[in-house]
Amino acid sequence: MPMGPGPLGFAYFVAVKLTGYTVAAVVLKKAYHVSNHGSLKVGAIRTIIGLGAGLAYGGAGCFSFPNPRQLVQMRLPTSTWPVCYLFESPSGCS
Neighbours of 17 (CB within 10 A): 20
Per-residue pLDDT at 14 = 92
Mind giving me the DSSP string for 1-47?
-TT-SHHHHHHHHHHHHHHHHHHHHHHHHHHHT--SS-HHHHHHHHH
> Please, what sign has the CA dihedral across residues 9, 51, 82, 36?
negative
pLDDT band at 65 (very low <50, low <70, confident <90, very high): low
The percent of residues in the chain predicted with pLDDT above 70, rounded, is: 80
CA–CA separation, 6 and 36 (whole Å):
37
| pLDDT value at 47 more than 80 | yes
Read off the pTM: 0.76
